[in-house]
Structure 1
Amino acid sequence: MPLWTIYHPANTYSDKDKQDFAKDITDFYTGFGLPAFYVVVLFTEMAEPAFFVGGRPASDTVRIVVEHLARHLDDPDMRRRSTERLNSIMVPYTRDRGLHWEFHTYESPRDLWMIAGLFPPGPGTEAEKAWARANKPLPY
């Protein structure tokens, strides 16, 4: 499951912006065969006096934490390409709006993850494809 937590100053994104950003993120992962319901995006508004960078209030900064559970990348070149692709998803919602942005990605162990009390099926398995088609977890 990819979990994106997007920390941003209040009023940075409209409801439509949030929907569009979340859709772009979801489309990226479903393009690799992940079920859409794996993708969770949380927008966390930060009041101006609560968001600091370098010890100073930051009214133009977006901080994004991406957590990957469903897939892990071991190859350094793949990791770099993935990080660049994630960045390209962010650009229309950050740089193109005159915002400063930073992000990092965690990879959590698959065996420490459950959905609806089920351990998710392995990558690319028939069970995972069934989950993607149904867009919900199914016993397997």
Structure 2
Amino acid sequence: KLLENKRDIPVRLWVAPPTKMDQKQLTEEGHYGTLGVAGARIEQPGCSLCMGNQAQVREGATVMSTSTRNFPNRLGKNTNVYLGSAELAAICSRLGKIPTREEYLENMGIIDKNSDNIYRYMNFNEIQDFQEVADSVEL
């Protein structure tokens, strides 16, 4: 929601969905289009960027990552990599920097207004496609 109708955001944004299921959902809901308009680079699903296997940033760059790992030179030589939530990464992408407390709270207000839609996938048992598959499994 933070990047809707945004063009040429002030950062390089790389998105790597964790699974093909997530990629499918993002595509079906039009989020890939939103990310594309904003200028995001979309990677193949899986743990590519997590370990710095695919992409490297310029030397000395500062990176906000949603990865679970951080170690020296993970994403490039002499990089400053900060780990944060998906929400914080989206805010950083929108602003082009790590937000102040006030900027963070202002942008979280946008997320909070859309929280029913944004966080509905935390309950897989409530997603129709998953319910149908689960109901078809014989025990």
Establish whether TM, by shorter chain, passes 0.5.
no
TM-score, reference length from structure 1: 0.32
TM-score, reference length from structure 2: 0.32
Higher relative contact order (CA 8 A, sep 6+): 1
Q: Which structure has the highest strand share of the two?
A: 1
